[in-house]
Amino acid sequence: MFRNWIIRILTAGWILAACNSSQTTDSASLSPQPDSVTESFSSPVASLTPTLLPEEPPPARAESEFTTDFNKHSVPYSEVLSGGPPKDGIPPIDTPQFIPVKEADAWLEDREPVVFVQVGDDARAYPIQILMWHEIVNDTVGNEPLIVSFCPLCNTAIAFKRTFDGTVLDFGTTGRLRYSNLIMYDRQTETWWQQATGDAIAGEHTGAQLEFYPASMISWADFKNLYPNGKVLSRDTGHPRDYGTNPYFGYDDINQTPFLYDGRTPDQLPPMARVLTIDLNKEAIAYPYEILREMNVINDSIGGKEVVIFWTGGTASALDASNITEGREVGSAVAYSRSLNSQILDFEFKDGKILDTQTGSEWNIFGLAIAGELEGRQLSPVVSINHFWFSWAAFKPETRVYQP
């Protein structure tokens, strides 16, 4: 299956950048590109042969690329693989431009997934079709410096606060993976950070952790309908990319083999099963999308905190078809606190609507009451992250898988 996936990428004309210590292969020799595309290009899917980093010391290539203090590290370097592209070979977006919803609607389809982040009244959508090719956006939302990140191989869209120890950090891609997950670095200290957990795994800040900020993956239709005056990340990134296409097509298959991952996966679920994960007060739970699709609403308690997970349809997988808009439906799931005005609400899915049983008010995927006694009230978001099961379990093997 894995070999078939690679062949499909190659036959579709996608570029596999063969990177070594001295150079990155020019895309022109691998796949024809439009005359207007002059920038040297590295595909996100970069190498078929993993490059192991020895335990001590890091390879010369890493030492030459980074000023990281590699003497400090919290994980064995043998767990770190080269994804192929060099440092910032997948270029982050450092000066993001934003456009109105109406303008973005010309090239975004209703089913397309976007990452939704809101600080105060500043609501923003980051289309996965753009994040697919850049993986990191250094942004400031509502005066809060944030990093919005996406690792396609793990299906993880995660936001963190960029202010760390009194300093605003800027992030880039290292070109390295651990458990198939993106390893980021900050430009101020060149510390390496694990995207899935926010942990500093090598360099000056080893042992520290970035602070998560709530971010959810929802459909473009849901965002534009609730936030017609919101901001949308523009395709004007300064880099020519084939936005809207998926270089990982076919990867989002329950029978697929994870890319650049040779670890074991707990057998509660298939490695590529989609899950929404929550980690609170040292308790971690994974909610399979197959169960969420059946139930629509789940009331639960995690780490002593009462939470609810809402699921809604209408969102396509970004990693299924070669064109994102043609991906199969997977839906969206978001978690919230059930506590409102010191009262614990219970929710149910009835007659196609999300209702609380205390007042019968109707709620939407944004945790907003849209009808009834509590209309206009807002639930507080809980940090919840989409993952493939293998990715989350690699970092949190003690996770409980939710069962109805």
Per-residue pLDDT at 62: 77
* pLDDT band, very low/low/confident/very high, at 10 (cuts 50, 70, 90): very low
Tokens in use for 214? Answer: 């709530």
DSSP H stretches of helix in 23-113: 60-65, 101-104
Tell me if 204 is assigned to some domain. Answer: no
Task: Give the residue among 37, 48, 151, 30 at the shortest CA–CA distance from 90.
Answer: 151
pLDDT of 9 above 70: no
| Percent of the chain residues topping a pLDDT of 70 | 85
Per-residue pLDDT at 60: 62
Task: Give the residue among 253, 266, 322, 267 at the shortest CA–CA distance from 2.
Answer: 253
Tell me if 14 is assigned to some domain. Answer: no
Tell me if 339 is assigned to some domain. Answer: yes
**For the residues 42-55, what does the mean pLDDT come to?**
41
pLDDT of 289 above 90: yes
Mean of pLDDT over the chain: 88
pLDDT of 11 above 90: no
Contacts of 358 (CB under 8 A, 6+ apart): 343, 345, 346
Per-residue pLDDT at 41: 33
Least confident range from 123-127, 229-233, 255-259: namely 255-259
**For the residues 346-350, what does the mean pLDDT come to?**
98
**Cβ–Cβ < 8 Å for 137, 147:** yes
pLDDT of 179 above 80: yes
Tell me if 390 is assigned to some domain. Answer: yes
* pLDDT band, very low/low/confident/very high, at 12 (cuts 50, 70, 90): very low
Contacts of 22 (CB under 8 A, 6+ apart): none
The residue range of the domain holding 347 is: 274-401
DSSP H stretches of helix in 42-94: 60-65
Tell me if 312 is assigned to some domain. Answer: yes
Number of domains comprising the chain? 1
Radius of gyration of the chain (CA): 21
**For the residues 83-112, what does the mean pLDDT come to?**
97
Long-range own/partner contacts, residues 70-76 (CB < 8 A, 24 or more apart):
70/202, 70/203, 72/202, 72/203, 72/204, 72/206, 73/201, 73/202, 73/203, 73/206, 74/199, 74/200, 74/201, 74/202, 74/206, 74/207, 75/178, 75/201, 75/202
Tell me if 296 is assigned to some domain. Answer: yes
pLDDT of 1 above 90: no
Per-residue pLDDT at 317: 97
- Separation between Cα atoms, residue 234 and residue 63, nearest integer Å: 35
| CATH code of the domain covering residue 393 | 2.102.10
Q: What is the pLDDT of residues 315-340, one digit of tens each?
A: 999 999 999 999 999 999 999 999 99
* pLDDT band, very low/low/confident/very high, at 59 (cuts 50, 70, 90): low
Per-residue pLDDT at 7: 36
Q: Which residue in this structure is represented by tokens 């070999």?
A: 3
Contacts of 341 (CB under 8 A, 6+ apart): none
pLDDT of 53 above 60: no
Q: What is the pLDDT of residues 363-395, one digit of tens each?
A: 999 999 999 999 999 999 999 999 999 999 999
Per-residue pLDDT at 56: 56
Tokens in use for 363? Answer: 């709620």
Per-residue pLDDT at 57: 61
**Cβ–Cβ < 8 Å for 329, 313:** yes
**Residues 222, 224, 230, 231: what is their CA dihedral angle, to the nearest 10 degrees?**
100
**Residues 185, 186, 192, 195: what is their CA dihedral angle, to the nearest 10 degrees?**
-60
Q: Which residue in this structure is represented by tokens 């869209």?
A: 157
200 vs 34, higher pLDDT? 200
Task: Give the residue among 287, 368, 375, 361 at the shortest CA–CA distance from 331.
Answer: 287
**For the residues 31-49, what does the mean pLDDT come to?**
35
* Cross-strand bridge partners of residue 286: 277, 401
**Cβ–Cβ < 8 Å for 387, 277:** yes
Tell me if 290 is assigned to some domain. Answer: yes
